[in-house]
Structure formats: C-alpha cells, structure tokens
Chains A and B, each alone.
Chain A
Amino acid sequence: MRTYFPNLTVLALVVLVVGCDQSGSSDGDADNNGKPVVYATNYPLAYFAERIAGDTAAVRFPEIDGDPAFWRPSDAQVADMQGADLILTNGATYEKWAKTVSLPPKKTVDTSVSFASALIEIKDATTHSHGSEGEHSHAGTAFTTWMDFDQARQQAIAVRDALVKAMPDDKETLNANADALLADLAKLHEDMRSVTTAIGDRPLVASHPVYQYFARQYKLKIESVLWEPETVPTEADVADLKRILKDHPAAWMIWEGEPASESVGLLKGIGVESVIVDPAGNRPDQGDWLSVMKRNIDNLRAVAGRSSN
C-alpha cells in the first residue's frame, strides 16, 4: 500500500506540470509570472523582443495561419494587445488593420519610424488572392522592412529603446542582450552584402513583391510576379513571366517558401532556377528568424556561385 503513494504523488505532479505547460502555451492565457507583456505584430519583431527581453518580459506573437501582413486581429486579440505593456508594430503599412482597431498610442511603438522617409511607396498595386486568405493588395508602402538588415538593425534598436523605457530596472540586461542581437544583425548584413555583391547586377525575378528593401540595400535587380509557393502558376502566369524575362533575363526566381515541384519544373523548362529567400514574417516551423536568414544567405550563395561562373 505504501508503495502506491510515491507513484500517486509523481502522477499528480506530472498532471500539474502538463496542465501548467498547456496553459502556458495558449496564446491568450499565457502565465506571465508578473512579467511585463510585450505584443509583437510580426515574427521578426517578436524574435527581436525575445532576444532583447530574455526572461525579463513575456513576448506574445499570435498564432497566425498565413502571412501576418494580411492578418486581422479579432476583438479578443485587440483586447489582449490593449492589456499588454508594450505593443511593437512594424509600421510601413504592414498593419493594415491598425486603421480600424483601437490601439493605445501610449503603449504602441512603430519600429520603422526612424527610417520613415526611406520607405518605398507601392504604386498601381493589384488586388489579388491566393489560397484561403482572400483578396489582398500590396498598396501603400513596401512593408518587408527587415529584409534590409540595416533597417532590421534600426528596428531592433527601436525595440530595445521601447523595452528599456518600459522596464528601466532591467536596462543593463536589455542593453547587453540587444548588443548581442545587433552584432548578429551586423554579421548578417555583412554576409548578405558579400553574397549579393557576388551576384552583382544579374537580373532576378521574385515570386512575390516583398523584396523591395532587400533589393535596394543589396543593389539587386529584381522584378516581381504574383506567384505563391504552394500554387502552380497558370499558363497566363507563365506568359506574364516570359514577357518580363524578355527585358529582364533572370536565371533565378526567388521564392518566399518551398515552391511546388511542378512550379520548379515549369521554371526549369524556361531556364529559370528556383531559390528560397524566406522573409520569415511568421514563426518558422523549424529554427528561428536568425537561422532562417542564415539559410537564405546560404541559398543565395548558390545563385552567386552560378553568377560568378
């Protein structure tokens, strides 16, 4: 009889731990242990905040099915944001929903405000749809700001400053963590510059218009179509691409994610190879933002290698 007691105690502890873990993993009900709550509207900002805040704050990034740029928060999610201590937004018209929801300005930080004058305006954006996300448009300004790693650095600094302002007692920890992140971003910037210099002015084509800042910073010649990795392009899409290729003879198409094998085959048929440069706007299935960016650089080395040959 006595031998059952320890087993029951262990079982109770396991149930308690599992229960706690499950409650902690839910989006809205996470146990913050009294830590300040920081809400981020895309994954790069959430990653920067997690790196800089470390254990000093609970960083929340909602589980979004699809691209966070075309997400719209529910009432409960907006209420969650209102209750947070800090809301990190990307700015640059990334949060198209911001005009129709009520965020507290006191807690909301636009991380791209320091380079607002350098934002790229999108003209004549076409409304389109893909998958179950419904129609969307890329009108406004280009919003994949962090793909220029110098701009990513400025956004990380904005995150650091906002965190320091919100948690002045943790200033030293935050600054130390931020320095480590900024060093990683500087290394990424250098590596990207090195590989894109090797690519030079060889034309490239992007499957989606999300590489404007990337192209500007690293002096790449990129034209865009409106293709999606999981969708096989139609004949009309291929015809549009061929029209672009006449004046812009690209040998590589940059994809946001792993393209369908049929798409890769179609492209190969017209002499275009595929390479993935994932902006990682949403949380990746594996790794983190930094590892995805390193993988992007590795992927581009293939383009550079082919270019230099």
Chain B
Amino acid sequence: MTFLIQQTLLYAVPLMIVALAGVFAERSGIINLALEGIMIFGAFVGVLFVRIMQGSAWVSGAKAANAYGTLQLFELLAMLVAALFGAIFSLLLSFASINLRADQTIGGTALNLMAPALALFFIRLIANQNTLYIDGDGPSWFMIKKAMFGYGRTDKMSWLGETFVNKMYLATYVCILLFVVLSIILYKTRFGLRLRSCGENPQAADSLGINVYRMRYTGTTISGALAGMGGFVYALTTANCTSNGDVAGFGFLALAVMIFGNWKPGNIAGASLLFGLFKCIAAAYSSIDINGDGVYLLKEIGINENVYRMLPYVITLLVLAFTSKSSRAPKAEGIPYDKGQR
C-alpha cells in the first residue's frame, strides 16, 4: 500500500502541476499545446543545472558534509531555474499567438518539435550520448530519507512517516502547495478573475480597461513556468534526474487531465490522482501487493499492462464524448485577440 501511494503521488503531482499550467494558459485564452515541449525543455535545463552546479564547492561541500538542508535548497533552486527557462521558452508561443496572431495549434506544435530537438542536440554535444546524467543519481542527492530525522537503519517510522516522508521528494510537496496557492489566486483574487475574463470574453474585458495582451502574456508565462518546473519534477522523481529529450507523453497526458478535470483545479487534482494510479499500475502491476497478503491480484487478473497505459486516454475521449454538451472550455480560447474587431 505504501508503495502504491508513493508511486501514485510521484506520477500524479507532475501531471497535476502541468495540467494547472494548461489551465492558466487556456483561461487567459491561449491554447497551450506546447506543454509537452516545455516540460522537455524544463527537464533538460533543470538536469543540466544540477549537473553543472554539482561541480561547485557549495554543493559538493554540502553533499560531502551530508548537509541535507542545503541539498534540499539546491533542489528548490533547480526547480526555480527550470521554471524560469520554461517561462522564457513559452514566450515564443506567447509572441507568436498574441503579437502576431498566429495559429496557436501550429505554434504549440512547433515548440513541441523544437524542445526535444534542442535538448537532444545539446545533450549529444555535452554527454556524447542521448541521455544526460548527473553525477551519481537523483535519489542519492535529493530523496528524503529517514536518516535525516535521526532514524537508524533498522528503525521504522510510523506508517504516515513511511508513506509520506521516507523516500519521497520535497519537490512533490512544493508542487502540491503551489497548486493550492495558484488555484486560489486564479479563483479568489481580482487578478484571477481578470485573467479568466480574457479567456471568456476578451472584448468585454478590454472595454473594462483590462489589458488583454498583458493578461494573456501573464497566463502563458505562468503556464510556461509551471510546465518547465513540472518537467524537471517529472525527471527528478520518476526518471532519476536524467534527461533524454522525452517525457513519455506526460505533457499530452496533462492536457487530457485538464480536459477531464473540466478546467477546474479541484477536478484536475482528482483526475491526476486517478491517472497517476493508472500509470503506476501499468509500470508495476505485476509486483503490487495491495493488502499485503502475498497475492498479486492485478497480475492474476491478467490484463495487459498496455491496457492500463491506454486507459487514461480512452477515458478522456469517452468523457469528452459524453460531456461535450456541458463542457466548460474557456469560450475565447484559441481565438487571437484583435483590438480592431471589437
């Protein structure tokens, strides 16, 4: 059970935060199809940052002295860098779709093509192979271990500690916190209301003195920052802090989560937990012992792992099919705003 909860959380949290990234862009009126690309870019930059900083005295000294706090700070710093570069990368989309009124779908596709190409080009130059590794592996640097709290090797933490603290990452909880804070900002503040109005009726928003262009820039930039950070968190928590120009379709899955969650944070959190569970089952279904009685139930049912992997997409399509009449997509998303057309 502990394993199942931990793994589900690790898969679900990047999905959740990237789906929220999608919400910020779409609520402001820009379809961000580039989530996948921005994730790839963020993962690459974050891992590269970690790799470069490992050589510095500050970080290597902290590692040698087992200064866990400093290492966790280092992890947060890497997340910040990934977010920063994700935001910068997303400016390409904002510029094309806001200033030049380009087709947002094609612009997003271009970013999705560009990110893996750029990442792989530089990874090959830096590492002479297709995967960028850090010195050692992610868990040994960043994973929270019970030793940090003075527990010995044979000591056991309480069930809660074993499940939610031991062998988890700080990044996961930072993302959850960010998710909550940003959701509140989007729904309970004046800024959030203004942002959402630009995705529903930009003409009306403009007539009330809201700068639609600036709001849309803000929306996509927040979106880019979150997606970049989500990409790094994905690489850190599920890929041992490596980058290979690929996030296994997580960006597109996040898009599915966003639609499944009907563009609302609460539903998105639920949907990402559900999809995270599917991912986790697909990855480890043959070794999951749900209630600890030695019976591998999922293996005995005998459903192919690919079915579990396929399910999130199938469910999303079905949900779309059944709710298409009542779906609450932002009304003005995908339509370039032209001041002259009021």
A and B found bound together: no
